[in-house]
Amino acid sequence: MTTAVIPARGGSKRILRKNVREFGGKPMIAWSIEAAARSPHITRVIVSTEDAEIAEVARACGAETPFIRPAKLADDFATTSDVMQHAANWLSDQGEADAPVCCIYATAPFVREEDLDGALKAFADTEADYVFSATSFPFPIQRAFRIDNNGRVEMFYPEHLTTRSQDLEAAYHDAGQFYWGSAAAWREKRPIFSKRSTAFLLPPYRVQDMDTPEDWERAEWMFKQMQGMCVS
């Protein structure tokens, strides 16, 4: 039995109640729940939360809330690894100790079931601890610079001042959508960003953080554009 776990605490600070705030006509968390439910390879969708309203919305969207997340795992210092370790241990106690588990963020309105399925296939084809969503940086990171207290700039990699963009190595970052991991990796809190992991690449136009009001506004614009593309 393959399970998707969606962490969704109630105490978001920069965007209040973002996990259940309306996005595209639905509670934000509904997009993650529905994508997981559409995957033929995910048999169970669980939302891990300490919040009664989020739990109610999650159930209305078709997810299970079979446990309440401990308060200590719902504060500003709890990590995704902490929350997933708790969920993986709970699944182990229920006799589901060996199947891979997918962590899907509650604020991932652009997640697609075909990406979840493709990443699971990649996970099955490798001995990696994790396969997670990632995308490329839109500009060469070797050209990045810092700004000091006097407003002056300094390149992080001055040796690449005159290197042609096409000669610079591509760089990637976490897309913040989903993470397939072995049950053992979650239980043992093995690091996600290591040589034991593989990236499943997504196009940059379907990736957006949801941490600030500006992120939310940009995501709404992206959503409208993609909806228009689908209609046409």
What does the pLDDT read at residue 227? 80
Q: Whole-model pTM?
A: 0.94
Please give the Cα distance from 179 to 104 (Å, whole number).
7
Pick the CATH number of 3-135+174-231 from 3.50.50.60, 2.40.30.10, 3.90.550.10, 3.40.50.720: 3.90.550.10
Weakest mean pLDDT among 143-152, 157-166, 223-232: 223-232
Domain range summary for the chain, segments of one domain joined by +: 3-135+174-231
Please state the rounded mean pLDDT for residues 35-53: 97
Chain mean pLDDT for the chain: 95
Q: For strand 101-104 and strand 3-7, is the pairing parallel, antiparallel, or unpaired?
A: parallel
Position 46, amino acid: I
- Return the C-alpha torsion angle 24, 25, 27, 29, nearest 10: -40
Position 54, amino acid: I
- pLDDT tens digits, one per residue of 129-156: 999 999 999 999 999 999 999 999 999 9
Report whether pLDDT(230) > 60.
Answer: no
54, 47 in Cβ contact below 8 A?
yes
Confidence of residue 229 (pLDDT cuts 50, 70, 90): low
Which residues make Cβ contacts (< 8 Å) with residue 227, sequence separation at least 6? 24
- pLDDT tens digits, one per residue of 184-204: 999 999 999 999 999 999 999
Residue entry with tokens 């705030």:
21
Residue entry with tokens 């709890």:
78
- pLDDT tens digits, one per residue of 60-86: 999 999 999 999 999 989 999 999 999
Please state the rounded mean pLDDT for residues 112-135: 97
